Amino acid sequence: MVFLAVYVDDILLTGNDEAEIASLKSFLDHTFKIKDLGYAHYFLGIEILRTAKGLLLTQRKFTLELLKEFNANTISSVCCPLDYNTKLTPHEGMLVPDPSSYRRLIGKLNIAFSVQHLSQFLQAPREPHFKATLHVLRYLNREPSLGILLNHSPTYDLLAYCDADWASCTHSRRSVSGFVVFLGDTLIAWKSKKQTTISLSSAEAEYRSLRRLVAELSWLSRLLHELGLSNITPIPVKCDSMVAMYIAKNPVFHERTKHIEIDCHFVRHKLMEGLIQLSFVPTQNQLADLLTKPLTGLQHHSILSKLGVHPPSNLRGGVRNGNEAPP
């Protein structure tokens, strides 16, 4: 099998047949005149580092350039992206004199929950909002080479966690959904998003988060099947709300769940179809917490390590030369 990923004029080529890969590269060069850069080491702003445990995807170069652009490469560092005790609102504080700088910075950040939270104030950013974005830069300055490890473990089972922070937005009272998806030991998908409607209970918020995750898993399972992975269902889904799990498994929709009936039908249909398998996870083991709310430094880094996010220095065996064959 040979896989070809194309983004405009950037191409990644991989597979399990060296002769077929060489033949395809020869064909592409004859047809389009491509430049073979060897083993991948930089793609779409992402550095690919080879370690003893697999491939580490990091944006160190991009992060250092971002810190330099906003004069944040010499400021003191902090241990989490957002201050756990800071509550941001749309109308408190002085307006930022140049809102374009705030918008430009938010547009360049890639930290899921922080961007979701801070992008709410793009229209009229104020001093507390800009201070919060600088706090994110101070976090990036702590370890700019932090990256996601694509573990070379031969395990290809899917595992997912979903969570919601009920009514966490103080001015709209909408909830925030978050989920993470693993393929074996590798984090491959994650999402942090404010819900579009107001949930009347924490169970409803959790259930809407579950519905969003199930839609993602439905798409992912089809993609992985096309890529040659079979027998990946039912996919274990970890949820810390017993009520949301009960709603998904209950064939009778009561008056209290009528307003979320479409979500109920969708999740329950996928459950009966065998796509997912629901199970309870204690809140302290809920990995999707990182995508729904600010955490303390200790909680933040504890979850990061479980998600497979590491600096290169933490991986035994070190980082290999970019021209060496991948493990």
Task: State pLDDT tens for residues 127-175.
Answer: 999 999 999 999 999 999 999 999 888 888 999 999 998 877 777 788 8
By DSSP bridging, strand 235-239 and strand 158-165 are parallel
Give residue 326's pLDDT band: very low, low, confident or very high (50, 70, 90): very low
Task: State pLDDT tens for residues 302-319.
Answer: 999 899 998 888 775 555
Give residue 327's pLDDT band: very low, low, confident or very high (50, 70, 90): very low
Task: Please tell me the distance from the alpha carbon of residue 183 to that of residue 155, in angstroms, as a whole number.
Answer: 8
Domains of the chain and any CATH numbers: 2-38 (no CATH), 60-146 (no CATH), 154-306 (3.30.420.10)
Averaged over 262-288, what is the pLDDT?
Answer: 87
pLDDT for 137: 92
pTM score, whole prediction: 0.86
Long-range contacts, stretch 260-265, CB < 8 angstroms, 24+ apart: 260/204, 260/207, 260/208, 263/207, 263/208, 263/211, 264/207
Task: State pLDDT tens for residues 196-223.
Answer: 878 778 888 888 899 899 999 999 999 9
pLDDT at residue 17 is higher than 70: yes
Q: Any idea which residue has 């995807």 for tokens? A: 57
DSSP 8-state class, residue 325: P
Percent of the chain with pLDDT over 70: 93
Q: Any idea which residue has 């992985």 for tokens? A: 224
* DSSP states along 87-125: ---SSSSPBPS-HHHHHHHHHH---HHHHHHHGGGSSS-
User: Positive or negative, the Cα torsion across 259, 265, 271, 276?
Assistant: negative
Give residue 256's pLDDT band: very low, low, confident or very high (50, 70, 90): low
Q: Where are the alpha helices (DSSP H) in the chain?
A: 18-32, 60-69, 99-108, 112-118, 127-142, 202-226, 242-249, 261-273, 297-306
